Amino acid sequence: MWDNSPFSMPDGAKITGHQGDQYRVNVSMPFDADGFFGRQCPECSMVFRVNGDDYDALPDELRLWCVYCGHNADHSDFWTDQQRERAMEAARALGVQIVHQGFERIARRTRGTSRRGRVSISFRSSPRYPRPLPEIDEERLARTRTCAGCEVRYAVFGEHRFCPVCGRLPAAPVAFDALQAEMARLDALTSLPDEVRAVLREQGVFTRNWVDTIENVVGIVEALGAATFHERVTDAEDRVRGKGNIFQRLDDMADLFVSAGCPDLRIAVGESTWQRLTRTWAARHVFTHNDGVVDEKYLRRVPDSRTSVGQRLVLSDADCREALADTTALCRALVDISAQ
């Protein structure tokens, strides 16, 4: 702290030193009611929040990761717009006073020197009271997370793949977050007012949402299955070479794990759950590749189906919720394999 400063700074800003005409100013960035403060990615511009106490305990040379896009840079690059405006207001308060002081000096040097060829400057000063720094009023917390690696607490406002300190998250929390997001989307649609739901239903929004859910659960398992296999099996690359998108194919994926000495996923989740998963995966295939129209391949995979070739599958909210529950069980079985 620089004592005897000739400048008056607003609350939250302190001059901590100077060298020549260069001044060093510390500007506080207050935490919100939950003890978090904002960080904004300089690349994608999205905002996340970090627990203030956890952040203060981190090293000064810290580099941060954007939780959304994975941009990695010095932590000082992650100012939010409101934080930047707060700092600029402190800089303006100091700058005005430096200019004011400069005019006072000029006026003192030129006072009483009104001879020919010279200019007399008169300057009247008055006490200056800097404006208060703007408050930080950013979006409140929606979802908070604690990184299993560094234990830093942070909050996000969308789908994320990175810890702000550690970087890329393990596959398991990403998968379970995605499953929770799918369930939240189903809940959001069912909680809408009746008149809104009626309009959306007539426009096919509900049907499209259910199809998306069925397609997304397969992608979630594919990502987790691939990550688990490569982590658990030392010669994973050799075993999957030439097998295409094997982690999209339910039984082929299970056989792959068994061939590598891992537990059988079919036994881990139970026969009835596996049968329902098989039906979900078959439905995903016809929606992705045949606009939901049943073909011979679907009927071979789901022999107890009441549909015929050429019919279009019809999904429901209940189908999606069941698929999410079954997929969650499968993901837990994959995590168990990874933990062995």
pLDDT tens digits, residue range 214-252?
Answer: 999 999 999 999 999 999 999 999 999 999 999 999 999
Residue 256 within any structural domain of the chain: yes
pLDDT, average across residues 171-190? 95
Nearest to 224 by CA among 278, 154, 183, 170: 170
| pLDDT, averaged across the chain | 87
Alpha helices in 117-262 (DSSP H): 171-190, 194-202, 205-232, 236-240, 250-259
Q: What is the pLDDT of residue 3?
A: 47
- Domain count for the chain, please give it: 1
Residue 25 within any structural domain of the chain: no
Q: CA separation (Å) from 163 to 65, 66, 81, 159, 325?
A: 7, 8, 22, 12, 27
pLDDT, average across residues 16-32? 73
Q: What is the pLDDT of residue 208?
A: 95
Q: What is the pLDDT of residue 102?
A: 61
As a whole number of angstroms, the distance between CA 220 and CA 182 comes to 11
pLDDT, average across residues 199-206? 95
pLDDT in tens, 105-156: 666 666 555 545 555 555 455 555 677 777 777 877 777 899 989 999 999 9
Q: What is the pLDDT of residue 63?
A: 95
If one counts every other C-beta atom within 10 angstroms of the C-beta of residue 111, the result is 12
Q: Is the pLDDT of residue 8 over 60?
A: yes
Residue 218 within any structural domain of the chain: yes
The string of DSSP letters for 243-264 reads --SGGGSHHHHHHHHHHTTPPP
As a whole number of angstroms, the distance between CA 226 and CA 240 comes to 10
pLDDT in tens, 271-327: 999 999 999 999 999 999 999 999 999 999 999 999 999 999 999 999 999 999 999
Residue 302 within any structural domain of the chain: yes
- CB crowding 63-84: b at 16 or more within 10 Å, else e: ebbbbbeebeeebeebbbebbe
Residue 145 within any structural domain of the chain: no
Nearest to 239 by CA among 219, 214, 259, 222: 259
Residue 175 within any structural domain of the chain: yes
Backbone angles phi, psi at 303, to 5 degrees: -65, -20
Nearest to 287 by CA among 221, 224, 216, 225: 216
As a whole number of angstroms, the distance between CA 79 and CA 47 comes to 9
Q: What is the pLDDT of residue 320?
A: 97
Q: What is the pLDDT of residue 95?
A: 66
Residue 189 within any structural domain of the chain: yes
Question: Hunting for tokens 């189903």 — which residue is that?
Answer: 186
Q: Is the pLDDT of residue 91 over 70?
A: yes
Residue 129 within any structural domain of the chain: no
Domain that includes residue 183, residue range: 170-339
pLDDT band at 160 (very low <50, low <70, confident <90, very high): very high
Question: In terms of pLDDT, which residue wins out, 5 or 278?
Answer: 278
pLDDT band at 2 (very low <50, low <70, confident <90, very high): very low
